[in-house]
Amino acid sequence: SQTIHQWPATLVQPVGSPLSLECTVEGTSNPNLYWYRQAAGRGLQLLFYSVGIGQISSEVPQNLSASRPQDRQFILSSKKLLLSDSGFYLCAWRASGEQFFGPGTRLTVL
Amino acid sequence: GEDVEQSLFLSVREGDSSVINCTYTDSSSTYLYWYKQEPGAGLQLLTYIFSNMDMKQDQRLTVLLNKKDKHLSLRIADTQTGDSAIYFCADLPHSGNTPLVFGKGTRLSVIA
């Protein structure tokens, strides 16, 4: 069966520090991969999505970037975090009609 | 662009039925989804319906799709306190690689 992993589960970082969040998927090949951010337990904001290795579409201009170095690995990065980057980051994958989410990473920027 | 709308809050008594409603704008939507999010957790795919269907039932969950009115609903029978969560409606505007469009979520509170 398919499984999606995200780490770390929680992260507290100072303003201006770098960020790297990782997402890996098991049990499927060539999935579409997505990064979302959720602020204050409400709506989802799509940040990036990828339909294949090295292919990244950015939905929102900001100080974040994404990379897909392997088929089932999706990385969210920042060189310098802002206070406004705090939130709940969710990775998701989709193949055919179903889309599944990972457990999320809670990021607090102080 | 495509838009998905939901009411923000719903409160029901334990044992009653809950009905969460959603409207969408894209007439070419292919799949429509319901997700559940409990506090501190990711989104759990509850069920989804293909756009050529008008109803889908899965145990206590019933999804109704009115394609003419672009209206989707999720009915939870015999609502339990464990059903308290945020429920997200989403649609896939076209087939292929288009990202899902999500509503802002309906917070369901179940009163014992």
From chain A, pick out residues whose CB is under 8 angstroms from the CB of B44: 101
Q: Which of B102, B106, B108, B109 to mutate to test the interface with A (most CBs of A within 10 A)?
A: B102
Q: What is the mean pLDDT of residues B64-77?
A: 96
How far B92 CA sits from the closest chain A CA (Å)?
A: 9
| The pLDDT of residue A42 | 73
pLDDT at A32: 94
Please list every residue in chain A whose beta carbon sits closer than 8 Å to the beta carbon of residue B88. 44
pLDDT tops 90 at residue A61: no
CA distances from A16 to A13, A21, A77, A85, A87 (A): 9, 16, 13, 11, 16
Q: Flag if B97 and A41 touch (Cβ within 8 Å).
A: no
- Mean pLDDT computed over every residue of chain B: 94
Type and span of the H or E element at B34: strand B31-37
Which residues of B make CB contacts under 8 Å with A?
30-31, 33, 35, 39-45, 48, 50, 86, 88, 90, 92, 97, 99-100, 102-105
Instruction: Using the predicted structure, report yes or no on whether residue A2 has a pLDDT greater than 80.
Output: no
Rounded mean pLDDT of B44-61? 94
Mean of the per-residue pLDDT values of chain A: 93
pLDDT number for residue B28: 86
Chain B residue at shortest CA distance from A47: B99
Q: pLDDT of A67-107, one tens digit each?
A: 999 999 999 999 999 999 999 999 999 988 899 999 999 99
Cβ atoms of A96 and B46 closer than 8 Å: no
Q: Terminal CA-to-CA distance of chain B, rounded, Å?
A: 40
Which of B76, B71, B22, B75 minimizes the C-alpha distance to B51? Answer: B71
Q: What is the pLDDT of residues B5-24, one digit of tens each?
A: 999 999 999 999 999 999 99
Chain A residues touching B105 at Cβ < 8 A: 42-43
**Is the model's pLDDT at A40 over the cut of 80?**
no
Contacts with A64 (C-beta within 8 Å, 6 or more apart), sequence order: A19, A47, A48, A76, A77, A78, A85
**CA B12 to CA A47: how far, in whole Å?**
34
- The count of other CB atoms within 10 Å of the CB of residue B98 is 15
CA distance, residue A39 to nearest chain B CA (Å): 11
pLDDT at B95: 65
